[in-house]
Chains A and B, each alone.
Chain A
Amino acid sequence: MNITYSRGTLLIDDVTGKVPEFIRYDDRVGAYRCPAYKYADIKSMYPDANDTVFQTRVLNLSHGEKLRSYQKQALDYWRGNGHRGVVVLPTAAGKTHIGIDAIATLSVPTIVVAPTIELIQQWKDVLSRVLGIEVGQIGGGEKDLRDVTVSTYDSAYLMAEDLGNRFQFLLVDEVHHLASERFIEIAKMYASPYRLGLTATYERVDMLHEKLQDAMGGKIFELGYEEISEFISNYEIVRIPVNLEPEEEEEYERNRSKFVSYLRRHRITMRGPWDFERFILSSWNPEGREALIAWREARKIAFNARVKIDTVRYVLSKHRGEKTIIFSEDTATAYLISKEFLIPCITYLTPGPERKRYLDMFRNGDVTALATSRVLDEGIDVPDASIGIVLSGSGSTRQFRQRLGRLLRPSQGKHSVLYEIVAKGTSEYGTSRRRRKGVPDTIDDGKEE
């Protein structure tokens, strides 16, 4: 019997006896076939088969990092689960260190998949430094394959057919994204027998996280903020309500009522993202277009209220010289802030090398503030960033926790403040309330690392 890899699947020929359901005879090529992620099962079922799926090599990797007790515990659970599973820890709890130790322990070709270019560059830097190796990169304009390679989700998806048998260890950061309809194919098309997922927010409102059970080994370890408070920075959340200017308020009301009356006429109730999708789908007619444009206008007014810019000015002056990240929901606001205060701006439109340069400048203290839309919500690690300004955002608790997480990396004497600037009398107030649900305003037990 021969087991070979072919474009995200395994081909098995000369099969004798009964085969399990997930292996099917493929008339198109005259051999048995199954999705590549079943490789570990196939191996245990047919240990004597001629297996050419991977070129097995040992890398002898090691690191000198010291793990915290809960990080060691998470790794024990992972090993106990056959080197598969998802570790859920709050942002700033040191998930990367868990990943590094897992890579060194296995010492096999590894691909680290992360959602943004910033994150893969960050993984690349830390892996190169800690493991003392050259790390490859796929995505962000690079295609450099090495024993340990980092990749964006998009590139890992697009190149799954070719890369699925190159890496025995699949490490997925912010693994909740993997559960989406598109990205779950990464998990399915890679034959990697060893899998580790890392996230702060495992559960998804659409329940797609259930797919991670089969694809990654399911959730095996979880701790909350309260359980690791001694390891993260103290913080407080300050909400600054601002008044729209009279003409802005008038314009806001006009647009808002146009939108709301459309919803009423079409009996659409906004209870979640599905309802909004329903609204968008129903809006491809002149009346719907008008309502959609009105919604966008109202949102723009609430997000970009002139007084908000002045409030940012106030916060920046108050914390002059402290490392500050300004978050907005849309790219237009991020560019507006960048032009107004002459600070670098990172959005999905910013080219890879430029993004890296700005982040390096921010880390090194060559600039002390960054404007960004949603691309820096997740995983960016700048330990001494202590001030966050949420100028606009969605009602997602996950997004809010992630943004807060940017400020929680511990450093000497650090006290972080996350400012939320919210336009009074607009739907932003409700949005702000929704996203803060379940997020404690402070963690302050007097302990610092």
Chain B
Amino acid sequence: MFPTQLMMVRKSKKGTVRSVFLTEENSDYCSSVIELFRSSIGKKREEIEDSIKTLELKTQNPKIVRGLALILFRISRLEPPSFLNPQEVRERIFSIARIPAVSPEERNEILEKVAENLNATASDVRRAMYSDKESEQILSSVPDISSEQLSKRFNSEQIETVMLKATSVRIVSANSRNRIVRIARRLGLLYLENEEGIEITGPLSISDHSERYGVNFALLVRYMMKLDDWKMDVSVSLKDRGKKAQYIYSLDHSVFDYLEPISDEIPNGFVECVNPVSVKGRQILPDYYSRIGEKEVSIFITRPRFYQEDSFLLKEIRGEGLPAEIFCIVRADEKCPSGAICFRDSIDWDRVREYMETKYSERKTVLEAEIPVIRSSLTPEMKGKIFDHLKKLYPDSVAMVDYIEFLGLDPLQILSEAGYRIKWSGLRIVVL
């Protein structure tokens, strides 16, 4: 994604915008910028920036030069100009120079003292003082990239840059609806399906044209690059004569062929949902379903911050008398939402299978007692098991709280029931 000021769009009076793409016709831009970089090996970034400014003056569209240069800076290798550690150099200088060195003699004296300690010269020290600044870095190599590759990358970044300003997206797709919904959900976006397609927005969109979901929309497009048969109309918020105005930005699958397709591994025994569940006239699309005996159980996979919203969907499906389950993936620094069934980092599909068989199968098995980690309601036996495990973890408060939260239970309640006294330290619980 480029900074917004490098976005290149044509606005129409009808309220639409379209990206200005690089084609073979203007491949000169790419070859000039690539050439400038290749001939600048050994130069400071600051010097290369100056050459780019000069090149901008010679071209019709300076934004293209700036955008291409930005890509090349990102993929090229730049190295610091000094062998000394600049932070250490600064630390040593300022520890000696309590009063500003106003005369050249004072200045040299300090630099030489530091140089002596570092086995270097005063000039080495001077050069190293801010050698970690981006502008001081030296270009050491430029990757082998063709004009065509560079221009495609530029176009791709242009699309993502427009998407940063997106406030909502409407997608029509005959074959990839479910996959698009799944991607949107994973990105924390909300969706509404109807006959016209899928409308994708963020939570705040209910009251505001928030741009905070722009990055998520840009990622959505990135994921969709290899899907076929889709068309989208994006509402984008762009400045027009100093004021924000909403425009429609349209794209379809014919635009893209740049990035790798997403890989979506579906576990055995689980099937990607193709048909949405119809609830009170609304179409809700779970992620997967699994057949347990005669029952087809809908499955939602969610993340802690989306759990609350997805629980509402679950409640609606269950309200229709249909079986449905929700599982939550938590990362290392995340807490399991209260009442949720959580897994660390990824779903353990075998455990999910066991859980669902236990819950929905006619024949109850011993498995019920063996899977406390994913149960949210507790039997006395389960409590006993948990309390035993807590004893083993005591006095490691963090591990104890983590364990309880991992089970989707309330630490305060469980610790109190298990007979522990606690105190709060900040937002953390300490078991006494």
Co-complex (A, B): yes
Instruction: Chain B residues near A31: list those with CB within 8 A.
Output: 312
Q: Assess whether A286 is in contact with B102, with CB atoms less than 8 Å apart.
A: no
Q: Assess whether B313 is in contact with A188, with CB atoms less than 8 Å apart.
A: no
* Nearest B-chain residue to A135, judged by Cβ: B426
Tell me if B188 counts as interface (CB < 8 A to partner A).
yes
Q: Which of A9, A277, A361 has the most CB of B within 10 A?
A: A9
Number of interface residues of A (CB under 8 A): 70
* Nearest A-chain residue to B63, judged by Cβ: A284
**Given A29-B190, A286-B59; A34-B207 close (CB under 8 Å):** yes
Identify which of residues 353-395 in chain B touch chain A, using a CB-to-CB cut-off of 8 Å. Answer: none
Instruction: Chain A residues near B145: list those with CB within 8 A.
Output: none
Give the residue of A29, A182, A280 whose beta carbon is less than 8 angstroms from that of B309. Answer: A29
**B125-133, B260-268, B287-295, B399-407 - interface stretch:** B125-133
Q: Assess whether A6 is in contact with B190, with CB atoms less than 8 Å apart.
A: no
Q: Assess whether B129 is in contact with A6, with CB atoms less than 8 Å apart.
A: no
The distance from the CB of B283 to the nearest CB of chain A, in whole angstroms, is: 10
The distance from the CB of B87 to the nearest CB of chain A, in whole angstroms, is: 7
Q: Assess whether B102 is in contact with A316, with CB atoms less than 8 Å apart.
A: yes
Contact with A along B250-292 (1 / 0, CB 8 A): 0000000000000000000000000000010010000000000
Q: Assess whether B110 is in contact with A290, with CB atoms less than 8 Å apart.
A: no
Give the residue of B60, B62, B203, B312 whose beta carbon is less than 8 angstroms from that of A30. Answer: B312
* Nearest B-chain residue to A59, judged by Cβ: B424
Identify which of residues 25-42 in chain A touch chain B, using a CB-to-CB cut-off of 8 Å. Answer: 26-31, 33-35
Q: Assess whether B99 is in contact with A349, with CB atoms less than 8 Å apart.
A: no
Instruction: Chain B residues near A188: list those with CB within 8 A.
Output: 204, 208
Compute the total of residue contacts between A and B using a CB distance below 8 Å.
Answer: 157
Contact with A along B96-108 (1 / 0, CB 8 A): 0111111000010
The distance from the CB of A181 to the nearest CB of chain B, in whole angstroms, is: 8
Tell me if A69 counts as interface (CB < 8 A to partner B).
no
Instruction: Chain B residues near A358: list those with CB within 8 A.
Output: 94
Instruction: Chain B residues near A366: list those with CB within 8 A.
Output: 94-95, 98
Q: Assess whether B94 is in contact with A367, with CB atoms less than 8 Å apart.
A: yes
**Given A35-B204, A339-B126; A6-B309 close (CB under 8 Å):** yes
**B33-41, B50-58, B71-79, B217-225 - interface stretch:** B50-58
Q: Complex: how many Å from CA A286 to CA B61?
A: 7
Identify which of residues 391-432 in chain B touch chain A, using a CB-to-CB cut-off of 8 Å. Answer: 424-427
* Nearest B-chain residue to A319, judged by Cβ: B100
Instruction: Chain A residues near B93: list those with CB within 8 A.
Output: 342
Q: Complex: how many Å from CA A340 to CA B102?
A: 8
Contact with B along A317-357 (1 / 0, CB 8 A): 10011001000000000010011111110000100001000
Instruction: Chain A residues near B15: list those with CB within 8 A.
Output: none
Instruction: Chain A residues near B57: list those with CB within 8 A.
Output: 286, 289-290, 293
Q: Assess whether A11 is in contact with B309, with CB atoms less than 8 Å apart.
A: yes
Identify which of residues 344-398 in chain A touch chain B, using a CB-to-CB cut-off of 8 Å. Answer: 344, 349, 354, 358, 361, 365-369
The distance from the CB of A186 to the nearest CB of chain B, in whole angstroms, is: 11
**Given A6-B308, A284-B63, A342-B107; A30-B282 close (CB under 8 Å):** yes
Tell me if A162 counts as interface (CB < 8 A to partner B).
yes
Q: Complex: how many Å from CA A134 to CA B63?
A: 49
Which 6 A-B residue pairs are closest in the complex by CB-CB distance?
A: A146-B426, A341-B100, A28-B190, A342-B97, A6-B308, A29-B312
Interface pairs (11), CB distance under 8 Å: A30-B279, A52-B338, A134-B425, A166-B427, A185-B210, A189-B204, A284-B63, A342-B101, A342-B111, A354-B87, A369-B100
B residues adjacent to A (C-beta < 8 A): 5, 53, 56-63, 87, 90, 93-95, 97-102, 107, 110-111, 126, 129-130, 133-134, 188, 190-192, 201, 203-204, 206-208, 210-212, 242, 244, 279, 282, 305-306, 308-310, 312-313, 315-316, 333, 338, 424-427
Other than the given A136-B426, A338-B130, 9 more pairs (CB < 8 A) read A5-B308, A29-B310, A34-B206, A166-B427, A278-B242, A284-B61, A286-B59, A321-B99, A349-B134
